[in-house]
Amino acid sequence: MIQQINALTPIEEARAVLAADFDLKFSKAIETETRPVFERVKDRIPEIEWPFYAPLIFQINKLKREKNAVILAHNYQTPQIFYGVADIVGDSLQLAIEATKVEAETIVQCGVHFMAETSKLLNPSKRVLIPDSRAGCSLASSITAEDVLAMRAQYPGVPVVTYVNSSAAVKAVTDVCCTSSNALQIVEAVEGDTVMMIPDQYLAQNTAKKTKKKIVTWAGACEVHETFTADDIAELRAAYPGARIIAHPECPPEVIDAVDFAGSTSGMIDWVKTERPAKVVMVTECSMSDNVAAETEGVAFLRGCNICPHMKRINLENILWSLHTDTEEVTIAEELMEPARAAVERMIEFSRPKT
């Protein structure tokens, strides 16, 4: 058998191309240019790592201006992405909606694949790139369109409310989408006293506690949030006396019952900024806590988080690669575009404050 030795892996090849095409040395000029970003994240990123990140941040920002691109970063992205190169930050839906308001021809989605699909649904004429299309999600991959159709056959006439953490194919067979912040509002707004709420069993169970409607769900879960337990919360309380503990509703109900506040990503950020507790534990994805910490001086953020491996597939190197090579472009089958977009737009319509 022929064996090739010393061959470069695809990542090494990409690094070699980036090193040849960009100046990635940590010069005095780059240090000065990126100083404001470093000042913001210096409590979260060791100084020794900055000479690696700073040239990439500098080159990404330069290239995105040249290519008329906008970078969207989810709250779970690392601080060097969130504060270094992102133009728009937020949860997945905020990102996709905000992207409709900018002139850029290209969107680079720093998040997971379903988020890039949602951006494409709401921005069909723009090119949407994701730096690593393998960035998946345990919730989105837990259910297929065929599964939803089978549920519909089992519960004829019952409306399907689908969490935005789902594929475009699943959204296309959905009546209306929801987020973790508007889930209850959407469940109350759809017709009938029974609702199918998919694919997150815990978001469904946490919502079911607040409504009289009967909720039918699916056994999907977020691998980051499902592992937290009530015992974990008790241990955190013992380890950090006086700290406030807040959690995301993708956690099991026993966790939500044990914390001081439960809310969506944006709800948790607002809570910390308003309450300004002396000490807080965010029971969610770790980078979210880092990013909120960088803008809330005087609040001590204590560790009680998990890392999403899918979100962490996105890094500064593959963002530069994505912009440089216009890859990997996110496409959605023509026949899915209209019905999937309609489910998202119906949610936006349902969540609009009544005047």
Residues that bind ligand SF4 (CB under 6 A): 76, 112, 137-139, 165, 222-224, 285, 308, 310-311
Amino acid at 203: L
Phi, psi of 245 (to 5 degrees): -120, 125
At closest approach, how far in Å is the CB of 168 from ligand SF4? Answer: 15
Q: What is the DSSP letter of 207?
A: H
Task: Name the minimum Å distance from CB 39 to ligand SF4.
Answer: 28
C-beta of 285: minimal distance to ligand SF4 in Å?
5
* 180 known member of a binding site: yes
**Distance, CA of 249 to CA of 237 (rounded, Å):** 19
- Nearer to ligand SF4 among residue 56 and residue 140 (C-beta): 140
Tell whether 164 is in a known binding site: yes
Nearer of residues 110 and 189 to ligand SF4, judged by Cβ: 110
177 is known to lie in a ligand binding site? no
Q: Is 165 annotated as a binding residue?
A: yes
Least distance CB 112 / ligand SF4 (angstroms): 4
Joined together, the tokens standing for residue 17 give 């191309």
Extract the tokens encoding 109. Answer: 């989605």
The phi, psi pair for 20, rounded to 5°, reads -80, -35
Residue 160 to residue 195: CA distance in whole angstroms: 6
Nearer of residues 38 and 163 to ligand SF4, judged by Cβ: 163
User: Is 250 marked as binding a ligand?
Assistant: yes
Give residue 16's Cα distance to chain centre: 30
How far is 252 from 254, CA to CA, in rounded Å? Answer: 6
Nearer to ligand SF4, 140 or 319 (CB): 140
Whether 318 has a binding-site annotation, put simply, is no
Task: Give the chain's radius of gyration (CA, Å).
Answer: 21
For ligand SF4, the closer CB: 224 or 243: 224
Minimal CA–CA distance to 201: which of 224, 222, 172? 222
- Minimum Å gap between C-beta 111 and ligand SF4 is 8
Q: Count CA within 13 A, CB hemisphere, residue 5.
A: 1
Choice between 56 and 328, CB closer to ligand SF4: 328
**Other C-beta atoms within 10 Å of 220: how many?**
25
Q: What is the nearest approach in angstroms of ligand SF4 to the Cβ of residue 117?
A: 13
Where is the binding site for [4Fe-4S] cluster, in residues?
137, 222, 308
Where is the binding site for iminosuccinate, in residues?
74, 92, 163-165, 180, 248-250, 265
